[in-house]
């Protein structure tokens, strides 16, 4: 059996005297979609940030494609492989195009390929008619979709989405749910931290439950 895309070993997070969680092991398989659920304060966001290398003050280690790494010396290579999208995504105060191109330029993707991916991302997120509007003027749902498209355009090996529907209205939620279903259908490896029952109930998403400092992967 091949190694999982991502494996966590003995990951612990402590705040002062309080241990937030201790995860014995977790394996994330390539091409699978997961939902990370759990009560408020259980550490879902913290775990996502640890995996993304944004919180490097954690015990334990991770293996990515079988290659071990520790959080304190988070490898730059993983920053290209794993993309995290904040609960309230930040769009740079430039243009939508610049936002979509930002990570592609960092990866030195040739201009023609960049242009193709940007066009595809705009269409995927349903933002063709909003192309020329400054990001600050987009609605909450449009910002969320733009952030998802920006992350997806990078074709990351693992996509981490933090509460992508938390502050959206009904229409925004429905559009974001449709994009999540597409990510699943495209067989992207994605972990979605959420409370949203509609995401939790999306077929094909495996559940990971973080509760009382422990991580469990219940069936279903």
Partner 1 sequence: MDLLEPTRQAFALLFSGDPRLWQAIWLSLWVSVAAIALVAAPSIALGFLLAKKRFPGQRAAVVLVQALLSFPTVVIGLVIYLLLSRRGPFGSFELLFTPWAIMFGYMVIAFPILVVFTLSAVQGADPRVFETARCLGAGRLAASLTTLWEVRFGVLAAVVNGFGRAISEVGCAIMVGGNIAGLTRNIPTAIALETTKGDFSQGIALGFVLMVVALGVNVLLALLQGRGGLR
Q: How far is the CB of 71 from partner 1 (least distance, A)?
A: 14
The 29-58 contact track toward partner 1, x by CB under 8 A, reads -----------------------xxx----
Instruction: Please say whether the beta carbons of 63 and 71 come within 8 A.
Output: no
Compose the 158-197 pattern: x for residues touching partner 1 by CB under 8 A, - for all others.
----------------------------------------
- Selected from 10, 72, 92, 113, the binder of partner 1 by CB under 8 A is 92
Q: Which residues contact 180 (CB under 8 A, 6 or more apart)?
A: 33, 161, 164, 190, 192, 199, 202
DSSP state of 23: E
State which of residues 4, 103, 164, 172 lies at the interface with partner 1 (CB under 8 A): 103
Note whether 122 binds partner 1 by CB under 8 A. Answer: no
79 lines the binding site for partner 1 (CB under 8 A): yes
- Separation CA 10–CA 116 (nearest Å): 41
Q: Which is nearer to partner 1, 10 or 103 (CB)?
A: 103
Please, which residue, 120 or 211, has the CB nearer to partner 1? 120
C-alpha closest to that of 195 among 89, 45, 82: 45
Indicate the residue among 146 and 215 with the shorter CB distance to partner 1.
146
# residues near partner 1 by CB under 8 A: 25
- Distance in Å, CB of 214 to partner 1, minimum: 27
Query: Long-range contacts: 26-31, Cβ < 8 Å, 24+?
Result: 26/208, 26/215, 26/217, 28/4, 28/158, 28/189, 28/191, 29/4, 29/5, 29/189, 30/4, 30/5, 30/157, 30/189, 31/187, 31/188, 31/189
Rounded to whole angstroms, how far apart are CA atoms 75 and 208? 25
Position 107 contacts partner 1 (CB under 8 A):
yes
φ/ψ of 212, rounded to 5, equals 55, 40
* Closest approach of partner 1 to the CB of residue 198, in Å: 25
Residues that bind partner 1 (CB under 8 A): 52-54, 76, 79-80, 83-86, 88-90, 92-94, 102-103, 106-107, 134, 136, 150-151, 154
């Amino acid at each position: 059996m091949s190694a999982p895309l991502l494996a966590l070993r003995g990951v612990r997070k402590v705040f002062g005297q309080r241990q937030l969680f201790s995860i014995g092991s977790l394996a994330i398989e390539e091409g699978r979609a997961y939902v990370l659920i759990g009560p408020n304060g259980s550490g879902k966001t913290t775990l996502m940030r640890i995996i993304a290398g944004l919180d490097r003050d954690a015990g334990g280690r991770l293996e990515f494609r079988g290659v071990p790494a520790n959080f304190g010396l988070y490898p730059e290579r993983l920053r290209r492989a794993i993309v995290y999208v904040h609960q309230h995504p930040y769009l740079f105060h430039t243009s939508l195009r610049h936002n979509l191109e930002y990570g592609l330029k960092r990866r030195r993707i040739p201009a023609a390929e960049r242009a193709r991916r940007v066009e595809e991302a705009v269409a995927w997120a349903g933002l063709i008619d909003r192309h020329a509007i400054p990001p600050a003027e987009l609605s909450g749902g449009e910002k969320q979709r733009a952030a998802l498209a920006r992350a997806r355009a990078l074709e990351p090996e693992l996509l981490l989405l933090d509460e992508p529907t938390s502050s959206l209205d009904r229409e925004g939620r429905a559009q974001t749910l449709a994009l999540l279903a597409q990510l699943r259908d495209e067989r992207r490896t994605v972990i979605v931290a959420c409370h949203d029952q509609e995401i939790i109930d999306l077929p094909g998403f495996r559940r990971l439950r973080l509760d009382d400092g422990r991580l469990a992967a219940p069936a279903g």
